[in-house]
Every structure is written in C-alpha cells, then in structure tokens.
Amino acid sequence: MFSFTRFFAVALACLFAGVVSAAQPTLVVYTYDSFTSEWGPGPQVEAAFEKSCNCDLQLLGLEDGVSILNRLRLEGDASKADVLLGIDTNLTAEARATGLFAEHGLRMNSSALPESWQDDLFLPYDYGYFAFVYNRERLPDPPLSLRQLVEAGDGPTLLIQDPRTSTPGLGLLLWMKNVFGDDAATAWAQLAPRIVTVSKGWSEAYGLFLDGEADMVLSYSTSPAYHMIAEQDRRFAAARFSEGHYQQIEVAGMLKSSKQKPLAREFLQFMLGSEFQRIIPTTNWMYPAALPATELPPEFSDLIDPSPALLFDDQQVARERRGWIDEWLEAVTR
C-alpha cells in the first residue's frame, strides 16, 4: 500500500539527515525506554549483536512494558517491529491472544529462573521482584510489610507507575491484589492520598524519586545494586515486606508480521547467550534469566531476600486484569 508516512519519512530523511544507507537488513525491536537509555543494556546489546549479525539493530524505547503491547495492538499486522522485548509474564497470556506472535522454535538450556520455563512464543531474559526503594537517610524506619505501608495514615509518600502502561505498575496492582484480595480497593483508597504522582513509566517515577519528590518509589529489590555498584552509594535500599514480593519475569517474542524472521530468531538466541546475559545485572539491574548465580556481581548478595515470591497464573491475570484495573481506577480517583 502506498504510505504517506513512509514517503514523507524517506523524503525528509534525505532532506535533513543526509544520505540513507540501506545495505544491511534492519531488525526493529520494541522495548521500554529504560532499556534503550545510555546507562541501560541497549547500547551494549546493540554493539554486541551488530558485531555478529551483519545487520542494523534498532532498539525503539516506548514508555514502558504495557505500552509496548498496547502499541503493538494498535498497529496490528502493520507494525514495523520484528521483536517485542520487555513485557512480562503477567501479560504473556494477553499477548498470545492477539495472535500477532510467532513461535520462536528455540530451547532454553540453562535457565536460572526459580521455576522451569516452557513457552513456545516467549523467552525470558531476566527476572526480579518488585519492591519499594527508599533513601535510608531520609526514611530511617521503612514499613516492614505492605499492610503496614498501606495502613499507616501518615506513612511515607510514594511514587508509583500506572498499571495501564507500566509493568511495575501492573506488578504493584497484582501484589496488592495478592495480599489484600477483595479488600484491595479499600487498601488503594487508603494509599491514594500519599501517592505523589502516578507516572506512565518506570524511568519518570525513579527520576522523580532521585530528585527527592517522594520518600519511596516502586521499583525492584535489585535497584539498590545500581547505587552500590555504579555510584558507590549505599544510602539506597529496598524495603523488605513480610508478605513477600511480587515476581516479574521479563520476556521477548518475535512477530508473525516480521519480514526478518531468521534474524529475529538469531536475536532471541543471542538474548539467551552469556554475552547478553552478562550485560543485564549491571545495566538493567535485574537477575539474568540464563546465567548462574555465581556470575552475579558480589553486591547482589547484599540485596534483600524477597521470598516468598508471589505470582499469579498468567491466565488468571489475562481474565481479571481489566476488572482489577477498573477497580484500581475507581479507588484512586475516589
């Protein structure tokens, strides 16, 4: 089909960006923006993969995990993406239902995941546990449980992410549901006055937290490792909650509409390989999905023990997500 956008884009690229080179095939990967930022895994992954693939790897950072899936649904078959990287297991059932994903046909040999992995469409690249991160100097006595956080009327102020756009946001929604069950709406209403803002993605919330806009930010139990390793700063910690922490397994999958399927498969294979996996702990600040724990940086052993890991069945999340989000929307806008 004749496409105005493409015509425009090409014409403008010629006008404003100089010569367009199209000698190599291009692999387009939709991911979240913190993956592509200069301190994220993106630049290293791109350099490493392009060394061997003889291709141009384009990592496009779009807000956050849930947005990537929404974006894909809006675009449907016309999507320019070959690979989607950055949704999590809470969304895989819904992603499967779109019918837009192709079988990867790969086997995962060395899984470091706490549970075994079997999925014909999606492959995990890392995992972690949601947690509230705080600055020890600013908040000397963090809450010891999710219940305590919710019920302390004058408790710490919070920055969280929107469950409609962000996988941590969705994770917190499920965490609350897991702990409070049918009382989750009441718990959210209790929490709402202390929520400084609900951001669309992780990056914005974490950035606001570092600028001192709130006492705690929804992030990962592994986030303090970033401050320890990259900044030699031990002020930041994740609050350990006695109910346990909700788990996230981040996955990638290739698209049926991709015209570069062999290359897409090659990328997924590369993603499971040790070169990619070694980049993850100190850039994405998560536990790599296919790297033995012995290869983790020593600082990772100083992190909190998030057990017991909480996780809903992905089918149940697919069935209930919509209703739970509506419940959340009503509770926090009340």
Partner 1 sequence: MIRGPVSAYPVLALLALVTLAPLAGLLGGGRLETADLAFWNSAYVWRALRFSLWQATLSTALSLAPAILVARALAHAGDFTGRAFVLRLFAVPLVVPAVVAVMGVVGVYGSQGWLPLGRSLYGLNGILLAHVFFNLPLAVRLLLPLWQSIPAHHWQLGEQLGFDVRQRWRHLEWPALREGLPGVALLVFMLCLTSFAVVLTLGGGPRSTTLEVAIYQSLRFDFDPPRAVILALLQLGLCVLVALATLRWQRLPEVEIDTAPILAGQHRRSRAALPLIMIAALFVALPLAALTLDALRGPALEMLGRPRLWRAAGISLAIGFCAAFVATLAGWLLLRTSADLARRGRAERAGWIETGASVVYVVPPLVLGTGYFVLLSPYVSPFDWVLPLVIGVNALMGLPFVIRCLGPALRQHQARHEWLCQSLGLRGWARWRWIDWPVLRRAFGLSAAMVCVLAMGDLGVIALFGSSDSTTLPLLLYQQLGAYRTDEAAVSAGLLLLLCLALFWLIERVIGGRDA
Position 4 contacts partner 1 (CB under 8 A): yes
Among 67, 90, 219, 247, binds partner 1 (CB under 8 A): 67
Position 99 contacts partner 1 (CB under 8 A): no
Position 9 contacts partner 1 (CB under 8 A): yes
Query: How far apart, in whole angstroms, are the C-alpha atoms of residue 62 and residue 32?
Result: 5
Contacts of 311 (CB under 8 A, 6+ apart): 89, 246, 247
Query: How far apart, in whole angstroms, are the C-alpha atoms of residue 274 and residue 278?
Result: 6
Position 53 contacts partner 1 (CB under 8 A): no
Among 130, 134, 206, 285, binds partner 1 (CB under 8 A): 206
Task: Mark the segment that binds partner 1 (CB under 8 A) among 73-81, 130-138, 226-234, 266-274.
Answer: 73-81
Position 152 contacts partner 1 (CB under 8 A): no
Q: Which amino acid is at 75?
A: E
Task: Mark the segment that binds partner 1 (CB under 8 A) among 16-24, 122-130, 171-179, 275-283.
Answer: 16-24
Among 17, 154, 182, 232, binds partner 1 (CB under 8 A): 17
Nearer CB in complex with partner 1: 71/278:
71
For helices 184-191 and 167-180, give the axis angle rounded to 10 degrees: 120
Position 145 contacts partner 1 (CB under 8 A): no
Task: Mark the segment that binds partner 1 (CB under 8 A) among 210-218, 224-232, 262-270, 309-317.
Answer: 210-218
Size of the site for partner 1 (CB under 8 A): 56
Closest CA to 130 of 292, 243, 9: 243
Query: How far apart, in whole angstroms, are the C-alpha atoms of residue 290 and residue 112?
Result: 5
Position 201 contacts partner 1 (CB under 8 A): yes
Query: How far apart, in whole angstroms, are the C-alpha atoms of residue 249 and residue 314?
Result: 11
Among 31, 167, 199, 248, binds partner 1 (CB under 8 A): 199
Among 53, 113, 196, 229, binds partner 1 (CB under 8 A): 196
What is the pairing mode between strands 195-199 and 123-135? unpaired
Among 3, 24, 110, 315, binds partner 1 (CB under 8 A): 3
Task: Mark the segment that binds partner 1 (CB under 8 A) among 116-124, 215-223, 231-239, 319-327.
Answer: 319-327
Nearer CB in complex with partner 1: 75/119:
75
Position 333 contacts partner 1 (CB under 8 A): yes
Closest CA to 79 of 98, 96, 100, 65: 100
Give the residues lining the site for partner 1 (CB under 8 A).
1, 3-6, 8-9, 12-13, 15-18, 33-34, 37, 60-61, 63, 66-67, 70-71, 73-76, 78, 80, 162, 164-165, 192, 195-201, 203-204, 206-208, 211-213, 322, 325-326, 329-330, 332-334
